[in-house]
């Protein structure tokens, strides 16, 4: 696992871990982020307007999608189990659920205004390939927004977050998960979370990756309490000259 992605075996391990924690995923999220996770999602969701055609990659149980006010939303999710859970909370009039991956987006070229990857991009197996796909399906001037757990460049904040992810997240997840689920775990799914967190270099990595994939005006900002970051980049307008 590194900042560009992971091999097939590692990706299937990540996906198994996701499905394993599915039923109590949000309870764990709330606990390990001290209730901030939905604030971060809402901050990002506000960037989408009602008339935007929106694509969310890695929509899982729909926890981010449900905050979007857009009238045309596509969700791409590789797991049947998680997509099924999202059906219960999403409006079928506005949201189309598609089974697939961010590395092979089943939409036409230049068809989308905004793409969101919320706590999902870190789990993609080929992030360079996926950035290319996002660039393909976005309209000129369209924007990609990646929200993920904060991983600042080396320094005291990076150390603090690393300690939290490494030493606080697994025990907190165990508290939030029901004992019946814990008994089933052959391998603690939150160990996989630590591996994907370690696998990406720092917040700068996403920024560089987007810039190298042809996006412009690429920026990264911290969200509330600096526990998450939001990296944004625009597909350039076509030159008319
Ligand atoms: C931590 S969940 C995030 C779900 C949701 N976006 C949220 O805010 O809670 C990560 C999601 O990414 C999905 N995922 C993993 N690999 C993917 C890939 N290659 N392409 C698209 N989604 C992927 C997982 O199935 C999972 O639903």
The more confident residue out of 239 and 145 is 145
What residues have CB less than 8 Å from 12, skipping those under 6 apart? none
Report the pLDDT value the prediction gives residue 239, as an integer from 0 to 100: 64
What is the C-alpha to C-alpha distance for residues 96 and 77, in angstroms, rounded to an integer?
A: 11
Q: Rounded mean pLDDT of 19-37?
A: 90
If you average pLDDT over residues 102-112, what whole number do you get? 98
Q: Are 189 and 169 in contact (CB under 8 A)?
A: no
User: Which residues approach ligand 1 with their CB closer than 6 A?
Assistant: 15, 18, 41, 57-60, 63-64, 76-79, 82, 101-103, 118-120, 123-125
Tens of pLDDT, residues 125-154: 999 999 999 999 999 999 999 999 999 888
Using the atom order of ligand 1, give the atom closest to the CA of residue 59. Answer: 6
How remote is the CA of residue 154 from the centroid of ligand 1, in Å? 27
According to the model, what pLDDT value does residue 214 have?
Answer: 97
Closest CA to 96 of 55, 137, 136, 134: 55
Q: Report residue 174's pLDDT band, with 50, 70 and 90 as the boundaries.
A: confident
Chain centre to alpha carbon of residue 87: 18
8-234 CATH: 3.40.50.150
State the first-to-last Cα distance of the chain, in angstroms, to the nearest integer. Answer: 43
pTM for the full predicted model = 0.95
| pLDDT value of residue 176 | 80
- Comparing CA positions, the residue from 102, 21, 17 lying closest to residue 63 is 21
pLDDT (0 to 100) of residue 1: 84
pLDDT digits (tens, 9 = 90+) for 154-169: 899 999 999 999 999 8
CB atoms within 10 A of CB 141: 11
Give the start-to-end residue ranges of the domains of the chain: 8-234
pLDDT at residue number 24:
85
Q: Which residues contact 51 (CB under 8 A, 6 or more apart)?
A: 70, 71
């Amino acid at each position: 696992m590194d900042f560009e992605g992971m091999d097939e075996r590692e990706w299937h391990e990540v996906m198994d871990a996701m499905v394993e924690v599915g039923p109590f995923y949000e309870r764990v999220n709330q606990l390990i982020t001290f209730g901030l996770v939905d604030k971060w999602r809402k901050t990002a969701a506000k960037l989408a307007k009602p008339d935007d055609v929106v694509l969310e990659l890695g929509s899982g149980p729909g926890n981010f999608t449900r905050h979007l006010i857009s009238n045309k939303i596509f969700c791409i999710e590789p797991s049947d189990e998680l997509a099924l859970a999202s059906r219960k909370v999403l409006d079928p009039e506005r949201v189309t659920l598609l089974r697939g991956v961010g590395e092979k987006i089943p939409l036409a070229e230049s068809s989308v205004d905004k793409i969101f990857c919320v706590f999902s991009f870190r789990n993609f197996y080929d992030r360079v390939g996926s950035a290319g796909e996002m660039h393909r399906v976005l309209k000129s001037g369209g924007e990609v927004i990646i929200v993920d757990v904060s991983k600042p460049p080396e320094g005291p904040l990076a150390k603090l977050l690393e300690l939290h992810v490494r030493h606080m997240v697994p025990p907190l997840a165990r508290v939030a998960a029901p004992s019946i689920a814990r008994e089933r775990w052959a391998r603690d799914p939150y160990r996989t979370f630590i591996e994907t967190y370690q696998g990406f270099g720092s917040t700068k990595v996403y920024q560089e990756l987007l810039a190298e994939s042809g996006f412009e005006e690429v920026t990264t900002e911290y969200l509330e309490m600096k526990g998450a970051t939001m990296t944004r980049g625009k597909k350039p307008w076509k030159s008319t000259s």
